[in-house]
Amino acid sequence: MEEKLSASISRTIQTKLVLPPDTNHMGTIFGGTVLSCIDEIAAITAMKHSKKVVVTASIDTVNFLSSAKVGDILILEGVVISTGRTSMEVYVKVECQNLQTGERTTTTTAILTMVAVNSDGIPTPVNGVEPETEEEKRLFIRAKDRKKRRLKIND
């Protein structure tokens, strides 16, 4: 039986300041900039879980809920929520914190699939994951449905 690792082993938090080059003509952060940050934290999160190099296989869902502007602080949190033989689903939540008020707003959520690879780029097995929080447990339970949807899209 495979070893299951606690989800907290993979939990990763990054903080970034939104700067003028990160924003569009309306002064809000580019969606592509947010996606780049999400991809980076998902990779780090999956590498912490697998202790291997990873590649992005898919970005299943990205929900842009609100925006961030110059001077806001972005707080990104990633955690492995389910695993396959060589793949890991990573849930990423992005929050925006207003520097003056300290108020936090969820700006973006995403689920990505990362695949662990060896030095030759060949997919390599990973340990399972044991969800801890209620949100992780809810996402874990629905992992099979998400995988079916991904496979159906690829037909």
CATH code at 79? 3.10.129.10
- What digits encode the pLDDT tens for the residues 95-146? 999 888 889 999 999 999 999 999 999 999 999 999 999 998 898 888 888 8
68: amino acid identity, one letter: A
Total domains, the chain: 1
- What digits encode the pLDDT tens for the residues 134-154? 998 898 888 888 877 777 766
Asked if 110 contacts 65 with a C-beta cutoff of 8 angstroms, the reply is no
Asked if 74 contacts 16 with a C-beta cutoff of 8 angstroms, the reply is yes
8: amino acid identity, one letter: S
Residue 64 has pLDDT above 90, yes or no: yes
Q: Helices 143-153 and 134-141 sit at what angle, rounded to 10 degrees? A: 40
pLDDT band at 2 (very low <50, low <70, confident <90, very high): low
CA distance linking residue 37 with residue 136, whole number of Å: 21
- Range(s) of the domain holding residue 114: 4-153
What is the greatest pairwise CA distance in the chain? 54
DSSP 39: H
